[in-house]
Structure 1
Amino acid sequence: MKFHRFAAIGCLAVALPVAAQEFTIKVAHFLPPAAPAQVRVLQPWCDALKKDSGSRIACQIYPAMQLGGTPAQLVDQVRNGVADVVWTAPGYSTGRFPLIEAFELPFMISDASSGSRAAWKFYQQHAQQEFSAFKMLALHVDGGQAVHTAKKEVKSVADWKGQKLRSSTRLGAKTLIALGATPVAMPPAQVTEAISKGVVDGAMGAWEVVLPTKLDEVAKLHSQPPTGQPYPSTTVLMLLMNKQKFDGMPADLKAIIDRHSGAELVERFGRVWDEEATNSRKKVLASGGQIIDFTPAEMAAMRSATASVDEDWIRQVTEKGHDGKRLAAAARTLATGQ
């Protein structure tokens, strides 16, 4: 009798289907939850993964460094498994990803869409090795950084001199120094308060962050290149996944992540950043802010003043065993579409 009862239980266990394994992905970034990065890119990306996987992939998003640490530590957080996916800037980890820095050289990027496509191609052709410890989901640019100041317009090379401005990257800081300004490093969330207290005179920043960080409330003067011309500085950004987390997923779920990442996600980032830039400019003007375009003559003067930044970067990268001159030329060729 006992044998028959155990046999029946065994048969029942074999007959039951094995439940499909579910995966929760912890996604961390450094901006507020209302920022376009989360609302228009990360959340739709997570929604698409959930839908296509039949809810086997779910996301938990942690904005504004809710997992602790600083933006510069996000790379280590994803590598060590504190987070499964992070959206951050390679430039926040100074010296760690030297090759992709080519896209942060001065006057490289004129918009987010074309710039992001170019940066993704550069990554695929020249910089994959320095991200080998991670699963790269997307790499894009912020579309270029305008100058946002509280009191003094920046229209000419002379206007940069003496200005204390927030900078997001190493090359951005070098660009400011070459123009005569003083760079100050701080997370985006601290910039508005720093300007209001007079700690800095303004910031170099992409239009996309102006409204989420309320930068427009303290900086009413905004300077930028004419439409279609490259910005003095830019920030490369990336969506990285913990490699072990990805490798541990079933093949069908990996395929879903790959299908919604890469070039398709790069396009979304670029499109959203350009749309948000247009929206930010409109709202800045509507609220009484001023937007000043650099003249062609001043653009030429600024490019001449920052030529040393290219030269230093080429020398430093070459000293590390890479062909710095070739990499800088490749970046500029891709960025201009030639």
Structure 2
Amino acid sequence: MNARRMTINAAVGTALAGLSLGAAAQTINLKLHHFLGPKAPAHSQMLVPWSQRVEKASGGKVKIEVFPSMALGGKPPQLINQARDGVVDLIWTVNGYTANLFPRSEVFELPFVHTNSATATNLAMRAMYDQYLKTEYKGVHPLFLHVHAGQAIHMVDKEVRKPDDLKGLKMRIPTRTGAWIIEALGASPVGMPVPDLPQALSKKVVDGAFIPWEIIPPLKIQDVTDYQIEGPNRMRFGTTTFQVSMNQARWDSLPADLKKAFESQSGEAWVREVGQIWTKSEDFGIGLAVKAGNKHIVLTDVELAAFREKLEPVVQRWVNEVKGQGIDGAALVKAARENIARFSK
């Protein structure tokens, strides 16, 4: 009897172990790689919560591990190829790091195309994706595209109220459109990774930077600047476009129910929320700077008009640039402005 019991128990144990192994085998583990630190709102308030929602929607069949700070190796401009080559499964990256690959998406970065609402621009990108943008996302499957709140001006010790105030200064820029904006304002663009910015500001390697308020807390920008400048009604000087994308082959290998889990958490409601996440992060960031004693300058409509006059040629410069790639930039600018206006109502 005891021997029989032992045999039955062993059989049951083997069966349960088999079920456990089967369940483990069904779990798909994915790696999401990005360039900012774990304290950045993009990591803690967007990428991690989104990953958790996808996991929940999948019923536990998907597990996403998020790796910040380029923890899996390489440099930020290499992220897109890491995804395309299958080195990682998922990435969050700046399109402008490899602007030559995403010229159409660049339209949303232009000054006074993106205005003052990350949510409206996110929705415009989503609305225009199939007709205008899809062709350039080869080798990856974008889950969602978005922008940040827009480029504001941070200055070490120079108050800026007109374009001439920037003349001859060195400004950190995020992308080539940012460089064009700075050049149009008479300053010199300096490219560098975001984590290097605090030291560059403290040592006056640069006199200021084009970057949103949300980066103030994680990089302690309030400690190395005196002035933060933006236009009325949160008006900004262009923005930066981002993508969260999966390796195309990896996406194609997923069963339909898991694709649905990703899509259900990456749709219109989510990109609206992403815009709101950025707005809240902006409010917190500028509040921290003001609390530290920095001066928050909001330009008047008249002051902003002087910047607009200087920056409108940047839009035409971009139109001329992409024409050489067979892209109708003027049509893209028109469509982007119309869609952003539509979603701003």
What is the distance in 1 between the residues matched to 2:246 and 2:267?
12
Correspondence for 2:222:
216
CA RMSD across the alignment: 1.8
- 2:149 pairs with one of 116, 121, 143: 143
What is the distance in 2 between the residues matched to 1:154 and 1:81?
45
What is the distance in 2 between the residues matched to 1:115 and 1:301?
24
Residues 136-178 of structure 1: CA deviation (Å, up to 9, x unaligned): 1111111111100111011111111112111001111001000
SS at match of 1:88: strand
Correspondence for 2:6:
none
SS at match of 1:95: helix
| C-alpha displacement of 1:45 | 1.3
Structure having the larger proportion of residues in helix: 2
Correspondence for 2:305:
300
Q: Map 1:211-250 to 2 at 5 A.
A: 211-228=217-234, 230-250=235-255
Q: Map 1:97-116 to 2 at 5 A.
A: 97-109=102-114, 110-116=116-122
What is the distance in 2 between the residues matched to 1:184 and 1:267?
32
TM-score (norm 2): 0.90
What is the distance in 2 between the residues matched to 1:236 and 1:261?
16
Correspondence for 2:326:
321
**1:35 has 2:14 as partner:** no
- Structure 1 residues without counterparts, runs of 5 or longer: 1-8
SS at match of 1:135: strand
Q: Map 1:76-115 to 2 at 5 A.
A: 76-109=81-114, 110-115=116-121
Correspondence for 2:190:
184
Residues 1-21 of structure 1: CA deviation (Å, up to 9, x unaligned): xxxxxxxx9xx99xx765461
| One-letter amino acid of the structure 2 residue matched with residue 101 of structure 1 | E
Q: Is the 8 A contact 1:105 1:310 kept in 2?
A: yes
Correspondence for 1:23:
28
| C-alpha displacement of 1:37 | 0.9
**1:284 has 2:289 as partner:** yes
Correspondence for 2:201:
195
What is the distance in 2 between the residues matched to 1:171 and 1:22?
42
SS at match of 1:26: strand
Residues 197-234 of structure 1: CA deviation (Å, up to 9, x unaligned): 11111110011112112212111200100115x31121
Larger mean CA deviation between 44-53 and 171-180 belongs to: 44-53
The share of aligned pairs that are identical, in percent, is: 38
Larger mean CA deviation between 27-36 and 314-323 belongs to: 314-323
Query: Matched residue pairs, number?
Result: 325
What is the distance in 1 between the residues matched to 2:218 and 2:240?
17
| C-alpha displacement of 1:53 | 2.2
| One-letter amino acid of the structure 1 residue matched with residue 342 of structure 2 | G
Correspondence for 2:341:
336
Correspondence for 2:270:
265
Q: Map 1:117-128 to 2 at 5 A.
A: 117-128=123-134
SS at match of 1:30: coil
Q: Is the 8 A contact 1:113 1:270 kept in 2?
A: yes
Q: Is the 8 A contact 1:138 1:263 kept in 2?
A: no
Q: Is the 8 A contact 1:104 1:235 kept in 2?
A: yes
What is the distance in 2 between the residues matched to 1:124 and 1:297?
38
What is the distance in 2 between the residues matched to 1:262 and 1:136?
11
Correspondence for 1:61:
66
Correspondence for 2:7:
none
Larger mean CA deviation between 64-73 and 19-28 belongs to: 19-28
Correspondence for 1:162:
168
What is the distance in 1 between the residues matched to 2:122 and 2:222?
25
| One-letter amino acid of the structure 1 residue matched with residue 92 of structure 2 | W
Residues 99-145 of structure 1: CA deviation (Å, up to 9, x unaligned): 01101111222121222212222323311111132111111111111
Q: Is the 8 A contact 1:26 1:59 kept in 2?
A: yes
Q: Is the 8 A contact 1:226 1:293 kept in 2?
A: yes
| C-alpha displacement of 1:23 | 0.8
Q: Is the 8 A contact 1:65 1:71 kept in 2?
A: yes
CA shift in 2, pair 1:225/1:124, >3 Å: farther
SS at match of 1:58: strand
